[in-house]
Amino acid sequence: MQSSGLRVVGLIHSRVGMADRSSSYPTEGGEFLRWLRLRLKHPLPGFSPEGRFSPRPVKGRNYAEPIPNAKPAAVLVLLHLKNGAWHLPCVVRPWTMPTHAGQVGLPGGTIRPNEPSQVAALREYQEELGADPAEVELLGSLTPIYVHSSGYCIRPWVGFTSHSPIFNINTREVARLLEVPLADLLDCRNFGHQQRSHLGEIYESPHFQIAEHQIWGATCVILGELVLLVEEYQEMTNQGLVTH
């Protein structure tokens, strides 16, 4: 609805105005969030054909090279503390969807004409998970990636909330909500490869194994870049994954 969209636009501008106010950070995890906000302003790992989270061989799946008329989309990578540990909400798409049926993704979707990508990410978050975008503060964007199979160029926005989100999923777009612990993404025992087919070519697809679900494709690449940044923070601070 238009009124909801306008409310989210107003929300974005108010959140941008709060961007450098340290009081907006939670007591737990504040140092990591401060570091992450600053780190997202500098060159990011991006996509490399030789990278850990890249399919092999790459061929038509080079996420770094969008075509000129790529369709714009945005997703939200939301960090929130649950039981003292960082979690991210992911969605399992219904088998009835025309594309990405049954796959695990991030809340997000197509950017509307003249809509800022961060507004789209928050709008889709609200539409798909029924949570309040007013509780989300955006930290910055990960590297945009291009998905050849769908023609979308996706901008992933990273945000956090000091509150435990109250989710009410939209069952037309979401079959199940997965609250993925960030620690599980960092655990190498949950990372692997599986053979898949693209345009008749067999390739090795990296994935995160979260319970019975495999997170692969563009979502794996997006979360993989976040993992690289967290590992950078851990190495810099000589700490494990901490929440303070």
Looking up residue 182, the CATH number of its domain turns out to be 3.90.79.10
Q: Is the pLDDT of residue 162 over 80?
A: yes
Query: Is 243 contained in some domain?
Result: no
What is the value of pTM for the model shown? 0.86
How many domains does the chain fold into? 1
| 144 part of a folded domain | yes
Tell whether 189 is covered by a domain. Answer: yes
pLDDT in tens, 107-148: 999 999 999 999 999 999 999 999 999 999 999 999 999 887
Residue 242 lies in a domain: no
- pLDDT(225) > 50: yes
> If pLDDT is split at 50, 70 and 90, which confidence band does 48 have?
confident
pLDDT in tens, 177-197: 999 999 999 999 999 998 887
Q: What is the DSSP letter of 94?
A: P
* Owning domain of residue 60: 2-237
CB burial of residue 111 (10 Å; 0-12, 13-18, 19+):
buried
| Residue 155 counted as domain residue | yes
The verdict on residue 221 lying in a domain is yes
pLDDT band (50, 70, 90) for residue 151? confident
- Of the listed ranges 24-28, 88-92, 145-149, 218-222, the least confidently predicted one is 24-28
Does 45 fall in a domain? Answer: yes
Residue 244 lies inside a defined structural domain of this protein:
no
Closest alpha carbon to 132 in 198, 57, 48, 76: 76
* Nearest-angstrom CA–CA distance, 146 and 53: 14
70-99: per-residue pLDDT in tens? 999 999 999 999 988 999 999 998 867 666
